[in-house]
Structure 1
């Protein structure tokens, strides 16, 4: 994924961050979230991303989203330094996003859903070539159970097993066609889903099993937004701490998000929200 797509993904994550219900892929597989869950009747949102390096403003992106009947129907991204603008349009069925396509870079995101409204396929196409194809399966309780990812460079399967009694996920990824298991994650939820523990293990042939290599602790606020993420190594030493400070409007929508990495500000995202009368 190039830098532009990464920045867009960051902004899309920020825009959907007011989601009231916590689902597993909200904290792990972030690129597949739908553009929804805003409060109030919104006409447009103008979002600005600023990234900082060495205390200097290095990157600025201005994104504008236009809404109709509570859904985003068009967006644009503008890079002031290079005077480049891209436009994206969104197509829906009765309730779900089916496609968004970009101009002038001719990129398409295509989405498919099951009868319960769960995302079951996401294809990203650039210049009529498939960049990646992701397929999703769910268990009987509508929790994510399996993802198949295929691109021109990578092909893998990811399995999700949810323990309903103790409220955690086990996630295993296998490369294809070798079926090599690189690592697996355990994601635990506590305190009414306001604290999330993510443990990463690797398979070690020397011990004929798995060993912990690192883990993360995530804290969420009452809106379900991440306010702190701490990284630990296998010796329980803190490697990095990230803090996220939000400013909300009266409707509970995010106006500003400040991201801090080990005490240093590295990103500011601001939203100018226009509501319908």
Structure 2
């Protein structure tokens, strides 16, 4: 992957075009013109020229990201992106844009701390939803992927059936597999990683240490009212939330690109 920082816009765009293959990172279109989109806005401290903070978008999808959720819900084109069952990256990014719009909007220390915990947990939930929806929708449309789930999952390998039941089992097989995938706990990243590797033949991108840590923090926020097992209140700053935005966006966009190339 091309990383680093360029010092002028032309060099930045050339590097991003080379890295992303001259296609929109959300919808995958090869038809430009394309815009550069900052994952962390410059107004919130994002680096204008850092390649890790930039992605390539077609102008329609960049308009969607800049519009945010409220306008998207009232705009026919933008609503179609959100509601599309196949554009899971677009759905994830709309959530991320909404989170970014809420960071720093509370003035009191207590309200800001509470908001940051809620936003932090929501980012992790959005990532898990992407992992679930991308996998299930891909498998539901492709017999080869159904077969890979069947052949590589020990829960199915261990089952035996009488010969006379083969056709009955076959007819219900796809739904059983989809039911199984729906039951997976998607914050169990090691298990999810193995499923993605078996089904799509790809590796999860990058170092996931920060995301693993974020999942543990999210558990304390959701299940322990924002306190650790030792009773310490989780304290998250605006920068903590924006750092997680950057980490999850990099991870999800890179993973989405790998899945798209694999299928």
Shared topology, TM-score over 0.5?
no
Larger RCO (CA under 8 A, 6+ residues apart): 2
* Structure with greater strand percent: 1
When normalised by structure 1's length, the TM-score is 0.23
Greater share of helix = 2
TM-score of the aligned structures, taking structure 2 as reference length: 0.23
